[in-house]
Every structure is written in C-alpha cells, then in structure tokens.
Amino acid sequence: ETGVTQSPTHLIKTRGQQVTLRCSSQSGHNTVSWYQQALGQGPQFIFQYYREEENGRGNFPPRFSGLQFPNYSSELNVNALELDDSALYLCASGEGTSLSFEQYFGPGTRLTVT
C-alpha cells in the first residue's frame, strides 16, 4: 500500500505567477484535501474533493482551485501568487465515509513566492 505522495518538493515562484502542485492519494482513498501551513501555524483547510467534485471549502479565495482525477490523483492551482502564499502545501487523502474522518498526509510542497 503506497502512501500519499506530492510533487514537487520545493518550488520558487514570482509574485503574480501561477503554480500547480500535484498529489497522488493513498490507495483505496476517494477523498483528497489540500491544506496550507504557514510558518509557526497549524495546517489550514483549503478545500476537499470527493469523486472529482469539490464538496467542501475553507476560507480561501477563488484563485485557489483544484482538480481531482478518476485515479484519485489531484492538483492544486494557485493564480496571481502573493507573497503571503509562501507556505507548505499539504495534500491529505481519506476514505470519505461517515465512519472515518482520519486523513493521511503527504510530505508537502514548500512554495516560496518572491
């Protein structure tokens, strides 16, 4: 059973640019969530996808968008990057049932916006 993987590990972008981060969910999981973790903070929920549809969203603007593919891999897209978008971006997958709310995290992508 493979865990959650993310790519790339690190990324440096310039303010105003667009970025795409990728995630491969743990085998057997059909929900994927994305979190932003700023330095010294806990992860903050961006959104969740279930069966390729966004079904939950945290307090993030529309320039944060995503996709989930039939094989349950996922992308996070951020447009018009701002300096405050510099953070660790974590992907997490889960079983998507009412009996299990555990989510399993990947190692993250460290995004630096200059």
Question: β-strand 10-13 against 109-113: which pairing, if any?
Answer: parallel
Q: Which is nearer to another protein, 75 or 107 (CB)?
A: 107
The residues, ordered by sequence, that sit 6+ positions from 53 with a Cβ below 8 Å of its Cβ are 68
17 binds another protein (CB under 8 A): no
**Residue 43 or 85 with smaller CB distance to another protein:** 43
Interior angle at CA 66, CA 35 and CA 74, nearest 5: 80
| Position among 13, 29, 45, 75 found at the interface with another protein (CB under 8 A) | 45
From 112, 102, 110, select the one nearest 33 (Cα to Cα): 102
- Distance CA(105)–CA(29), nearest Å, equals 12
Instruction: Pick the binder of another protein from 28, 62, 71, 102 (CB under 8 A).
Output: 102
Positions in 47-86 near another protein (CB under 8 A)? 47-48, 50, 55-56, 58
Q: Does residue 40 bind another protein (CB under 8 A)? A: yes
Closer Cβ to another protein, 14 or 98, answer by number: 98
Cα gap 1→8, rounded to integer Å? 21
What does the binding site for another protein look like in residue numbers (CB under 8 A)?
A: 4, 33, 35, 40-45, 47-48, 50, 55-56, 58, 90, 92, 98, 101-108
